[in-house]
Every structure is written in C-alpha cells, then in structure tokens.
Amino acid sequence: MAQAAIELIGINKSFGAVRANRDINLEIARGTIHGIVGENGAGKSTLMSILYGFYQADSGEIRVGGQPASIKTPNDAIALGIGMVHQHFMLVDNFTVLENVILGAESDALLKRSIAKARSELERLEREYGLEVDPDAIIEELPVGLQQRVEILKALYRGAEILILDEPTGVLTPAEADHLFRILRQLKEQGKTVVLITHKLREIMAITDTVSVMRQGTMVATRETKKTTVEELAELMVGRRVLLRVEKGEADAGAIKLAVKNLTVKDTRGVTMVDDISFDIRAGEIVGIAGVAGNGQSELLEAISGIRRAVSGSVMLDGKPIDLTGAADPGELRDRGLAHVPEDRHHVGLVLAFEENENSILGYHDDPRYLKGPFLNIDAIRNDAKDKIAKYDIRPADCRLKTANFSGGNQQKIVLAREMEQDPGVLIVGQPTRGVDVGAIEFIHKRLIAMRDQGKAVLVVSVELDEIRSLSDRILVMFAGRIVGERGPEASEGELGLLMAGVEHQEAAQ
C-alpha cells in the first residue's frame, strides 16, 4: 500500500451550534487521486479548509507524510507542500497571469528576479503538465477554464506535492473538464497527490482511485473507486436510494406563454451574442437550450429577464408585448409572472452579506405579504423564509444566518425557493444544478417537472447535456448566437454534440 500523504485523526469542528465535522478519520495515499463526496453542507469544504489552514480544528490531529503537523495558516500548509484551488478563484482580475502566480511569493523588492524566475518556472510547468496559458494575459480576459489553470500553476509554483481542488468542474464546460482531468492524471503520474472535492459522481468514477463519503459532518465510508458504483455512492451520500434519472410523463403543452421573435442582443463590447433568434414556450412544457458556454445563452436569458437591453426583436408574454429594447425591467416582468433563476447566483441572484430571510424576498420586497404599512414586516418575512427552508430542505435551517455562510448548493436552493414560490406563469432558469449535490439535483428536477405539470412554461439553460436531455420536452441548440437546431429528448448525445459544435441541421441529421 502507498504511504499516506495525509492522515486526519479525530477531527472536530463546530461553528456555533452547527457541528460541521464530527470525529473525522481519513487517510489519503501518496500519488493517488482521492475523491471526497457528500451533499452540500456535509462538511467536505470545512475539512479541507482545516487541512489548508483556513480553519483550525476544535480537536484532532493532522499528519503530513507520517509526521504530526501544526497548520494554523495557509502559509503553514504551503510550507508542508499543500496547495488548494478554491471553488471561487482567488485571483486579482486586473493582474497578469505572471503577477498572480508570484503574488505572495516574491523573492525581491523590485520584482525583477521574481518575474524572471516565475516566467522560467511557468514554462517548465506548462511543458510538464500541459498547463498552457499566456503568462502576460490579464486574468479578467481569460475564460474560466484558463483561470483555473492559473490557480493550479500558483500551487505548483509554491512547491505543492498535495493539491486540493474544491468543486473544480462547477464552472467548467464539459470540454474544459476533460482537459482538467488530463492535467490531474499527469500530476498523479509525476507523483503528486490530488484531493478532489466534488458532488459529480460520474466524474468521481472517471478520475479517482479512492473515494470517501461524508454525510452530515461524519465520514460514513471509503471505497476503492473501481469496487463501487454511482448508485452506492449516491445512497451513502443521502442515506436513502436516489433516483439518478428524471421521471416524468408526457408533456401536455397548451397555449404559447412566451414568444421570442428575431431577438438580437449585444454584449458590453458591442459584439452580437444573440443573433436574430426566434422560438416559443408553451404552458406545460420544458424547453431546454443546449450549447457550449459562451455561445449566447447567458445574454439570451439576461435579455428575456430584463437585465440586459436587446438591440432588436419582439417578445410576447401571455400574448402581450414586452419592450426589451427600451423600458422593460426585471421588476415589471416579475409583476407580469416571469421569474428568473440567474446563472450567476453570487453576483445576480443573491446579496451574500444579507441574511437568508432577506435574500428569500429579494426583488419581491414590495409584495403586500411582506409589508406592514410602509415598512417591512420582519416577522412575516422570517416566517415565510422558515417555510421555504423546510419545503426546500435548505441547510442549515437558520433564516438569520448570513447567506455567504451557506454552501453553494444551499444558496442555489434559496434562489430557487424564492422564484418558484411566487407561482410564476413562466420560469427561466440558468444552470439549475450548478454546484449542487446529487440529492439536491433530484429535488430540483422534481420541482421543475412539478411546475411543468402545473401548466407553467419553463425555459432551462444548462451546460450539462444529460440534464438538458432528461428534463426537456424540446431541445434548442445554440451555436455562435443562433439556434442551429431543434430536437426531442430522444436525440443522442452525439447528434446534439454535432449541433453544439456548429454542424448544420442537414449534416447533423445524416
């Protein structure tokens, strides 16, 4: 058996009344890829934050390479050869790649030697691990997949032998995720140890050697990946059998609820991102939009929801026009029965510094249910939030907790509960299960199907092709800002993939 790179013994950690980690014991073999899975809020990220020095355990012991280790800060972890790539990247947007890599690891005051050393070292790391990225590129101009490579380069530049990745594919396209896995395999071949925190069980099966399962702050099982199954891991995570496929009947489509005709939208640079698109959604159906990220899906959702102004085109909601090129705003559309779950919950869907109950009414705060005369009715707001927490299984069940302190999946549930509970006629959802665990995915899918069966019109955009295929009654495929094809849910992944790659309708059908 390979020597242990990391041993965690009897780790406990509480935040007030919440016990995030309970008597955790974990051994990670050197030179392996070790997965850690669990529901949102199971304590995975807390455990790895203790290992990286962001938190200190209330009790327990850490050993690195067989030796007891005192890790009180990230600098202590780095000195022991531990690096971490966080779910939300720790990069300075207006710095170059090179500047971000040396930040905090400078070797001279004027930086000349630091920059020369870093440039040479980056060239070596890029060659060795396939981490190609322009060292002089500005971070904010790089796609997410390349930004993640910069985070990995930062860790390797600091001498990391053990690399922790927290939900690394949550913001990646399938192609970017595949490239990341190739990089991780190369790291393993070079003797590095990789710890992968994720909720995506198929990725666990594809990339890891060993997988440990956490539930409600405890470590419930560790398995050799080749000796387990997706179904067993899902059951261990949730504590019950989980449906891994969406169960739904035939759609009973009714009248057109939302009609989009010849819609054109440009981004902040003036580049046309949505190019003369037309489609409609009927009551009682889910229409899915498939496509590689960056092909106009985000701008389409922003325009329909009133966040981004359209250049031209017309939109009808329940047979009445919406002026998306001028006066329409999100508040007016909400009043008319259109709810929006944005792709970016942190920057658009939530105010992270607000309490959960405040975010649970965001955008609907002028509803009479939440008012007492001209003032907010705090008791009514908190009681409403408690009802949503119970109905949507939001954890922890504390409506006074700052939203920043919830896990990503539970933050997503807060947004979904807020929008779905308004009983909208039309619901548009961007990336409904991004960063969400298997149990919550099952719950969210059931809620979306229930809305469809209640006669609502639902538009879903997702980079997860399996999700689009299993949820949708009709699938529209976007490429370069245009709809290049429409298919039914029986369409194969290969056929949809050709359309997503820009193959024309006639060629894809051959």
231 & 264 share domain: no
Question: In sequence order, what DSSP letters do the residues of 447-467 get, joined into one string?
Answer: HHHHHHHTT-EEEEE-S-HHH
Number of domains, the chain? 3
Average pLDDT over residues 298-310: 93
- Judged by DSSP in three states, 312 sits in strand
Confidence of residue 115 (pLDDT cuts 50, 70, 90): confident
Strand pairing of 18-29 and 4-15? Answer: antiparallel
108 & 49 share domain: yes
Give, to the nearest 10 degrees, the angle between helix 438-453 and helix 408-420. Answer: 10
Identify the CATH number of the domain in which residue 185 sits. Answer: 3.40.50.300
Within-domain flag for 27 = yes
Within-domain flag for 143 = yes
Question: In sequence order, what DSSP letters do the residues of 251-266 get, joined into one string?
Answer: ----SEEEEEEEEEEE
Within-domain flag for 474 = yes
List phi, psi (to 5°) of 170: -60, -30
Which residue range is the domain that position 255 belongs to? Answer: 243-337+424-510
Question: How confident is the model over 189-206, as pLDDT tens digits?
Answer: 999 999 999 878 888 999
407, 422, 437: which is the final residue of a domain?
A: 422
Please report the pLDDT score of residue 269 as a whole number.
Answer: 81
Evaluate if residue 109 carries a pLDDT over 90: no
Q: Which of 273, 339, 266, 281 is nearest to 305 (CA)?
A: 339
139 & 227 share domain: yes
Q: What is the largest CA-CA distance in the chain?
A: 70
Give, to the nearest 10 degrees, the angle between helix 112-129 and helix 144-157. Answer: 110
179 & 45 share domain: yes
Q: Which of 269, 327, 319, 328 is nearest to 299 (CA)?
A: 269
Among 73-77, 289-293, 362-366, the least confident range: 289-293
| Residue, of 120 and 29, whose pLDDT is higher | 29
Average pLDDT over residues 132-140: 89
50 & 148 share domain: yes
| Residue, of 129 and 412, whose pLDDT is higher | 412
Question: How confident is the model over 45-98, as pLDDT tens digits?
Answer: 899 999 999 999 999 999 999 999 999 999 999 999 999 988 777 889 899 999
412 & 445 share domain: no
238, 256, 287: which is the final residue of a domain?
A: 238
Confidence of residue 509 (pLDDT cuts 50, 70, 90): very low
Average pLDDT over residues 380-403: 94
96 & 185 share domain: yes
Among 119-133, 169-183, 318-332, the least confident range: 169-183
Within-domain flag for 343 = no
Within-domain flag for 399 = yes
225 & 153 share domain: yes
331 & 407 share domain: no
Please report the pLDDT score of residue 196 as a whole number.
Answer: 95
183 & 263 share domain: no
Q: Contact, 290 vs 465, CB < 8 A?
A: yes
Confidence of residue 506 (pLDDT cuts 50, 70, 90): very low
Please report the pLDDT score of residue 2 as a whole number.
Answer: 60
Confidence of residue 6 (pLDDT cuts 50, 70, 90): very high
Residue 217 backbone class (left: φ over 0; alpha: ψ -120 to 50; beta: rest): left
416 contact partners, CB below 8 Å, separation of at least 6? 341, 392, 429, 432, 444, 447
Within-domain flag for 382 = yes
422, 443, 477: which is the final residue of a domain?
A: 422
In terms of Cβ atoms closer than 10 Å to its own Cβ (0-12, 13-18, 19+), residue 9 is middle
190 & 101 share domain: yes
Q: Contact, 75 vs 53, CB < 8 A?
A: yes
pTM of the model: 0.71
Within-domain flag for 45 = yes
76 & 149 share domain: yes
Residue 467 backbone class (left: φ over 0; alpha: ψ -120 to 50; beta: rest): alpha
Question: In sequence order, what DSSP letters do the residues of 221-235 get, joined into one string?
Answer: EEEEGGG--HHHHHH
Please report the pLDDT score of residue 346 as a whole number.
Answer: 86
Within-domain flag for 342 = no
Please report the pLDDT score of residue 261 as a whole number.
Answer: 96
Please report the pLDDT score of residue 171 as a whole number.
Answer: 65
